[in-house]
Amino acid sequence: MSLPLSDVRILDLTAILSGPYCTLLLGDLGAEVIKIEKPGVGEAGRGMPPYSFEGESAYFIAINRNKKSMTLNLQTTKGREIFYQLVKKSDVVINNFRPGVIEGLQADYDTLKEINPRIICCSITGYGSTGPAKDRPAFDLIIQARGGIMSYTGELGRKPVKMGSPIADLAGGLFAANGILAALHQREQTGRGQNVDISLLDCQISLLTYRAQYYFIGNEIAKPLGSGHGSIHPLRDYRTKTFDIVIDCNTQKIFADLCDAIGAPELAENPKFNSRENRFKNRDELNDILEKTFYDFLSLKYLIH
């Protein structure tokens, strides 16, 4: 059985992370990904420190599997001629250049659709291809900060912290892959391609989900909660004598099971803790109980239980 995108060819002009992660996902689904790099050193990710394997950067290897590679100088007439021949036989062209760069290379959607009306183009930029912020530089940390996700990442009362995973770049790649798949599906009905415009900032704002609604509806400004949750408790990390553990009691049944496991079944019936709402309302008191219990009494048998 063939993979779902085995009949799709993608010309990948991207570098570093957001774009390569998008084409990585599509390549894993079977697409033929042809990575087009600058002559000489190739794309910037090839030189990313500190680790390498057989001369290749570990960073580069991590996000460029299942891809073919070639060098092509799109700033030359000959390079563009070769590129246009590839466009005629391809389905998708993706880039993550700054706005205006792809137009300068004469590889934008308006140009390519004249060569191949079925072509799908995707551009990943920090703030979209239009608007007052479109020319601002955009790196993962900057987008995490501007998108608001850093405002509630980290420990309570301490300064904002970026997520350990480069979520701004990775989310951009995920949304771009989703947009490309939607465009491929729509092309089956229309016979024509389209332009997919991905803004990393838009993607981050989408990931705010319920935290944004808590602000709009409850006027709650998000603050760091550590590993805790803005609605559910207990859901966080706890320290024991040997190592840290995490607990996620999303339902009353799971909370009751936890109470049984720690030898305190009466906690589940306590009016302060007998519902999700009550546990959240009295979370500080419940935290004190659980922190002492886990640190003083947790044993291997309870973990196995």
* pLDDT tens-digit series, residues 232-264: 999 999 998 888 999 999 999 999 999 999 999
**Are 120 and 199 found together in one domain?**
yes
Q: For tokens 């010309």, name the residue.
A: 11
Q: For tokens 């079944």, name the residue.
A: 265
* pLDDT tens-digit series, residues 28-79: 999 999 999 999 989 999 999 999 999 999 999 999 999 999 999 999 999 9
**Are 101 and 160 found together in one domain?**
yes
The H or E element containing residue 229 is: none
* 261/280 Cα distance (integer angstroms): 21
Domain residue limits at 99: 9-207
Name residue 248's beta-bridge partners.
Answer: 235
Question: What does the block give as tokens for 147?
Answer: 């998108």
* pLDDT tens-digit series, residues 257-281: 999 999 999 999 999 999 999 999 9
**Are 106 and 143 found together in one domain?**
yes
**Are 19 and 103 found together in one domain?**
yes
> If DSSP codes are grouped into helix, strand and coil, which group holds residue 268?
helix
The pLDDT assigned to 295 comes to: 86
Q: Is the distance from CB of 170 to CB of 17 less than 8 angstroms?
A: yes
Does residue 268 form part of some domain?
yes
**Are 60 and 175 found together in one domain?**
yes
Catalytic residues: 169
* 35/31 Cα distance (integer angstroms): 12
Does residue 1 form part of some domain?
no
Averaged pLDDT score across all residues of the chain: 94
Question: Cα–Cα–Cα angle for 251, 255, 260, nearest 5°?
Answer: 150
pLDDT mean over 128-149: 94
The pLDDT assigned to 300 comes to: 46
How many domains are there within the chain? Answer: 2
Does residue 253 form part of some domain?
yes
* 11/140 Cα distance (integer angstroms): 24
**Are 67 and 124 found together in one domain?**
yes
Inform me whether the pLDDT recorded for 202 exceeds 70. Answer: yes
Round the CA-based radius of gyration of the chain to a whole number and report it. Answer: 25
CATH number at residue 242: 3.30.1540.10
Does residue 226 form part of some domain?
no
CA dist 289 → 86, 156, 247 (Å)? 65, 19, 14
Inform me whether the pLDDT recorded for 14 exceeds 50. Answer: yes
**Are 202 and 247 found together in one domain?**
no
